[in-house]
Each structure stands twice: as C-alpha cells, then as structure tokens.
Structure 1
Amino acid sequence: MARQILILDDNVSESNELRHLLAGFGADIYQSLRIGMAKEDLTKFHRGDIVICDFKLADGNAVDLMGWLYSKDIGCSVFVITDVETVADAVASFRAGARDYINKRLISELLVPKVKALIGRNENDNFPLLLSRKSDACLRAYSSAHMVAPTSLNVLIIGENGVGKEPLAQEIYDMSEQRDRSCVVLDCGTFHYLAQKHDTKHPVTLLDAVANQFRKAQGGTIILDNIQQLSQDMQSIILHVIANSRQTPRIIATASPEITEMAADGSFLSALFYKIKEFTIILPPLRECQEDIMLLADFYLKHYNQELNKNIRRFDTNAQKEMRLHTWSGNIRELKHVVRVAVLKSHGDVITTDNLDFDTPISDIHLNFKLDKNDEKAKIMAAISHTNGNMIQAAALLGISQKTLYVKRKKYGLK
C-alpha cells in the first residue's frame, strides 16, 4: 500500500509547490488549508504516513495538531515548517513529537530528502536517537542545532563523555548546506599519529599532515572530536592551517566541559577557542534529564530486541525506579550497555532488577538531593521516585517544606 502524505498549509501556492516536489515519491498526497478540514483524512493515516504542517494555521498550530493525533493514537510522522523560526516554537514542536522543524526556504534542501528517506524506510525501523528526547535542556540543544545547521557558523558542542556530542555533530553536517561536500572527521586525541601514517621514504611534518586533512574537506566540513585533548603545539598548528587555508572549511567541534576553564587559564589558545565557538551548544548529562531515561531505555529496548532476536515488552516498575535513580556517569553510552545486557539476560518478556547490570551498583550510589539551579527539576523528580511518591519524605530529602515542594512541582508541571 502506498504511503500517504498530507500537506497542511494555508498558503495555496506554497502547498502546491511542495506537492510538486514530492510528486515523484509514489505516495498518495493530500492537501488542506485547516486542521479541522484535515481530520477526516488523518483518521485514515497509519504509522509510516507523513504530515507536513505549517506551524501557524487559522484554526490552530502544529502543536495542537500533534496533540490531537496523539489523542487518536494516529502514529504518523509530522514535519513542521515555518516562515519564521523561533527557539520557543522549535522546542514546542519537538516536545509535541515533531520529526523536524524546518524553515520553508530550506524545504528543497532539508525537507524533501528527509521525506524521501522516510518513504523508502520500513515503518518499523529505528529513527534517529535525537527524536527520543523530551527534556527541556536537550530540546533546547537540538532546536539550536537545527537553527545553526544551515548557516556557515563554526559550532562547538560541549558535554560530558557519552552524551551524544558526535551524533549531534554529524546531524548538523547532514542538515547543512555543505552536506554535498566532503566531511572529514578527526579525533584530536590521535592527531600526533597523522605524520606517522605517511611513507617513511617521503616524511612529512605534522603541519603538512594536518593541512592535508583540511584540504580533503575541500571547503566542506571538518568535525574535530575532543578538542580538549589537543596539545598547545597542535592547537597552534590547527590555528595556522585555518588561517592559511584557501577554502576554509566549516568546523564542528566537540569538547568536554573543562574546555571553558582551559581557555580561561590559557592551556587552550583563546584565538582557536573563539574561532571554533562561533556558536555553542551545551548537551546536558543524562542524570539531569530524568524525563529522557526511560524514553531512551525503551528506544534501545526495541533496537536490541531486533539485534538479539528477543521480544521483551517493557521494564517492570522496580527496574524503572533503579534506572531513574542511577547516576549514569557514562551517560547514554552506559545506558546502551545496560539495556543491551538486560535484554540478553532476560528470559521472559519483562526486564526486572535482576537483569540490570550497572557499572556502579545502586546500593553504592550516594544520592545527593540538595537542590541547585542547574538540575532542580531532575532532583525533585528523583526524590519523588525514590520515595515512591511520598511527598512528605520527598520534601525531607530535598530539605524543603511540603508547601515549597508543591510550588516547585506546579512550576515544573510535575504531578
């Protein structure tokens, strides 16, 4: 059966132009000016079908539409398009479940290839991990990534090991206007081996070796992983290569949080630091994203069910509690490992605490519930979970009154 696409846009000429762009994909394409007018068609949509919706319409917006789709259990993919991008609208769209949030001027470059890829994909395939996050901090980071991707600005992505910096860097390249040009990925921890890879009969300097890597990008993109590992000599070499490149590539760099202190104390050259960080994205650690833990766990549960030929349905209540309370020092990388082993060890269709193999046992974890500005919401959620919903005990753990806890729960929308 052919896939179905609905274009929801009150600008008729733009809707017709988009229909023309999608006409060759073999899908049944419908058009509508209003959400209300589209609902009858949408009741016939299934998982794998696609909705392309302008963010603002006369009778509502894309968030309203996705809320209605969720209430009717219509599991289609929604792409939000807009004339004017805002961070608030992007965050709202992703939180509601949008696959992407795209400026209309980039429909040909960004939307059409994504729709084409989606139509050619099995409806049960795993979608990109970026779509499995709901926490405010992650949604802000991903919204920023989508906004900066089509520009030529250099980007610095900062976060702890295992939070997903490298996949996000690749995603920015995939959404950029340079995606048709070369992309060279370099691990800064192995730069000193570059010169050794050449023929010993024709030795090259480290400067030449680095310059050769930049030339391979041909004005495209260089992804520099873990720039905090660069020696000061290597920092100087890279700065020199950038300054003397005929076709300066776009740089997308990743770094651990200490990079800011290194720039401040002089152990990382400020000239290179500010050259790279024309735009900065902060990815939070998993422990500060309580809403994401089970979303990611369920994502990987489906993935490893396929890999290991299992049919596990869910995590039981106690397993979920332990996973939410775990500190996840290895972040998403550690969570992937824990879920994979749990799927392998489980003999039934439900994962229990006996199947969880944490690097740090839950009983050895020191749970610090003292509130601070950076992760107040996450700690409140953890305290409530730790006390099985007992608000008196949760308030005591947090060191606040029950009234203050009530106010903060209301502030963050917590039940």
Structure 2
Amino acid sequence: MARQIIIIDDNVSDSNELKRLLSVLGAEIYQSLRIGMAKEDLAKFNNSDIVICDFKLADGNAVELMEWLDQNNIGCSVFVITDVETVADAVAAFRAGAKDYINRRLIRELLIPKIKVLIGKNSDDNFPLLFSRKSDGCLRAYSAAHAVAPTNLNVLIIGESGVGKEPLAQEIYDVSMKSNKPCVLLDCGTLHYLAQNHNAKQPMTLLDAVATQFRKAHEGTIILDNVQLLSQDMQSIILHVLANSKHDIRIIATASPDITDMVIEGSFLSALFYKIKEFTITLPPLRKCQEDIMLLADFYLRNYNQEFRKKVKRFDASAQREMRAHSWSGNIRELKHVVRVAVLKSRGEIITSKELDFDTPTTGAHVQFKLKASDEKSKITAAIAYANGNLTKAASLLGISHRTLWEKRKKYGIA
C-alpha cells in the first residue's frame, strides 16, 4: 500500500487541486515546484510510493528525474502529466519507466483511478496489462490511443487474436469525452443472433435489431469487437444504420490483420471500412514484443499466486529462455494460460522449464473440416455453408488464413 505521494508541478493551482483529489486516499502528500527541491523527500521513497511529475519543469524533465531515481535505487511508481501530448515525449516517458503519460485535463478521469489501483482502493486487472509494457510497438499504440481518445474520431484497432484489442478499446472509451455516456459492446461474431433471440412476441428484422443497439448508445460509444466476422448482409445493415442514424455515436472497432485483404478482395465493404477507420491503431503480436514477455508473465504469476494460494517468486533462466523463444501464436491469451498452468504445477518458489506447457494448437482447424487433398473442395464448401457464408469464420474452421481460403475458392471455383 502506498504511504507517500509527491506532486512535482510548477502550476500551483493545479498542484493544489490534485492534492485535494488525492487527500481522500489516506496517503501522506508532498508538493514541490522543482525536481531539485523534491529530491530530499524522494530519498525517503520506496516501491510502494508514488511520484506525479510534470513532463517539463524549469530545472529538468520527468525522464531525467526517472534516470536519477534509477541511479539512486529509489523504486517508486512515476506518473507523468503534460499540457501538450506528443508521441515522442510519451515514448521517452514510458521507456524511462513511467506508469503512464497523461494529459493534464484528464487527471480526474484517468490519473486518479490508477492511483487508487496502486493504493488498493479498487482493482483493475487491465491496468498492468496496458501500462507496464516496454516494447516500441505497444508504447506507440498506447500513446496513439491516448492522443485520439479525447476526439470524436472513429477508431479501428488492428491486431491478431489475443493481443489485447478489447481492453485497449475500453481504455479509449474510459478516457474519452463520452466516458459518462453509454458504451455498448457488440460481438460481431454473434451479431446475427440479435433478431432471433429477441422476444418472439415482438419479431424484429436484423435492421431493427441493429438500430435498437445503436439507439442504446445515443451520445455514447459502440465497440464493434472482431468486425471482420460480420457477414456481408450485416455489414450493409450497419452501414445503412450509420448513414441514416440521427444519434451521436462514436465507433471503436477491433479487427484481425486480414481485414485489409478482405477489403481488397471485396468480402468486406470498403465504405464501412473507411467509415470506422478514421484513426487506426495497430497492436503488434507478442512474438514481436520480446521486452514484454517476462513483464506480462510476472504480472500473471502474481495473479495466479493469489488464485492458487501459492508463493512462487520467479521463472528461472531456463524457463525464461523457452518463453522468449516460443512463437506465442495465441499471444497474451496463450501466455496467460501457460503461466496459470505453470503456477498450478509448481512445487516450490521457482518455475522451471519443466512446468511450462506449450502444447497449444497452432491451428484452429475443427476436426470436422480438417483439410485433406482427396476432399479439399468438399471440406471448403462444407465449412463455408456451416459458417453461413462468413468467410473469416470458415477459414478459422478450416485452420487456414483468409487469404489462403480466397485462393482455394478461386482454384476450385467455389462461389
């Protein structure tokens, strides 16, 4: 539990207001106008304490402060605040070890909840997942998310399954100007069930069902999760609703990387694609984020220690080598599973390579649709029929990429 918080800010009125907001948390709060003035107090800080520092001050900046803290072995959580956000400053702050980089006008909405997490006043499992990563790709994605969040632009988040697209979409909503308005999450893979599952006494068309969901989000946000799973009929319906709706709605959509191929080949409507991608954020796969693998593994290790009442402290060198070398086809979702099993299997305080179970399928092929040269065409036809014409779902059933499915359809003349 944090016992001390220091606010380093030369804007006295803002500093006093922040102190007022934090005073209810029960921590001892210090204030300083300069980094140099703060160092005497900081010498007493440890891992449980918190620093809130303006990015630029008269005698230095937050990055230089974090370098000084590191040189003096002073462990604490540093939050950087700024009047003007830039990607370069955000990346520099995160690389130096900042927990977050926050626009001053979003302090109440964004900073205070995260301070509460560290102090233990509430919990948020996604906080470490979103803000304790160090890879360039993730830092740029999170910086871009915070830059676009206060605007009204529609956002498309692209990434492989399991990389954390939905938590990032939720984070954009949480720090947006619409955070006090409704947020409706729609799973595009099951969107066509909306009408069927409605009250039988009041039958609805698909158009009515979608329009109802959009009305619920009036003046707020709709998160379209896995938008690439929309059938072409549903794409047309959503495009129609967006074009004719009088509701003030922001769209945050998530999609797999093959969404662009789908637009090129015509299986995803370009008009809808460009409507939802006014601003695009790409989340890299875990295999391209080597710096993040053990950070995330350590986070989940602590979580599962609590779940299983264990006292596992760390992964040994052999386990770390294998984890860094693994391809992580399932990304964070797979890593989470591997760590959970390893903690459960462990008999001591250290996890070795023997406790790691990487027996994760590299293909999602359903046994019923496993491809064989002798009946490939019939399997593909059956999978497409089973998926009601949803080619992305059919590709998943077959265990092949959307592009490969498109090539095989062309080869066999499958409509």
Please tell me the TM-score bracket, short chain as reference: 0.7 to 0.9
Q: Which amino acid aligns with 2:210?
A: V
Identity %: 77
Residue 189 to residue 45, structure 1, CA distance change in 2 (3 Å): same
Q: How does 1:18-37 map to 2 (within 5 A)?
A: 18-37=18-37
Residue 24 to residue 348, structure 1, CA distance change in 2 (3 Å): closer
Deviations 1:301-338 (A, max 9, x none): 11111111111111111111111111111111111111
Q: How does 1:78-157 map to 2 (within 5 A)?
A: 78-121=78-121, 127-157=127-157
Contact 2:116–2:122 (CA<8 Å) still a contact in 1? no
Match of 1:62 in 2: 62
Q: Which amino acid aligns with 1:291?
A: E
Q: Which amino acid aligns with 1:185?
A: L
- TM-score in terms of structure 1 length: 0.82
Instruction: Tell me the CA shift for residue 293 of structure 1.
Output: 1.1
Match of 2:77 in 1: 77
Q: How does 1:181-220 map to 2 (within 5 A)?
A: 181-220=181-220
Match of 2:230 in 1: 230
Instruction: Tell me the CA shift for residue 127 of structure 1.
Output: 4.3
Match of 1:304 in 2: 304
Give the SS at the match of 1:78. Answer: strand
Match of 1:389 in 2: none
Residue 30 to residue 347, structure 1, CA distance change in 2 (3 Å): same
- TM-score in terms of structure 2 length: 0.82
Q: How does 1:270-349 map to 2 (within 5 A)?
A: 270-349=270-349
Q: Which amino acid aligns with 1:137?
A: G
Instruction: Point out 4+ residue stretches in structure 1 off by more than 6 angstroms.
Output: 122-126
Q: Which amino acid aligns with 1:254?
A: T
RMSD: 2.2
Instruction: Tell me the CA shift for residue 126 of structure 1.
Output: 8.5
Contact 2:2–2:49 (CA<8 Å) still a contact in 1? no
Q: Distance in 2 between matches of 1:166 and 1:120?
A: 24
Contact 1:54–1:81 (CA<8 Å) still a contact in 2? yes
Give the SS at the match of 2:191. Answer: helix
Contact 1:109–1:177 (CA<8 Å) still a contact in 2? no
Which deviates further from its counterpart, 64-73 or 271-280? Answer: 64-73
Contact 2:161–2:256 (CA<8 Å) still a contact in 1? yes
Instruction: Tell me the CA shift for residue 37 of structure 1.
Output: 1.1
Residue 255 to residue 291, structure 1, CA distance change in 2 (3 Å): same
The count of corresponding residues between Structure 1 and Structure 2 is 362
For structure 1, list consecutive stretches of 5 or more residues without a partner in the other structure: 363-415
Contact 2:334–2:360 (CA<8 Å) still a contact in 1? no
Give the SS at the match of 1:161. Answer: coil
Instruction: Tell me the CA shift for residue 255 of structure 1.
Output: 0.2
For structure 2, list consecutive stretches of 5 or more residues without a partner in the other structure: 363-415
Contact 1:195–1:209 (CA<8 Å) still a contact in 2? yes
Contact 2:2–2:50 (CA<8 Å) still a contact in 1? no
Contact 1:2–1:26 (CA<8 Å) still a contact in 2? no
Q: Distance in 1 between matches of 2:298 and 2:37?
A: 35
Match of 2:173 in 1: 173
Residue 361 to residue 320, structure 1, CA distance change in 2 (3 Å): farther
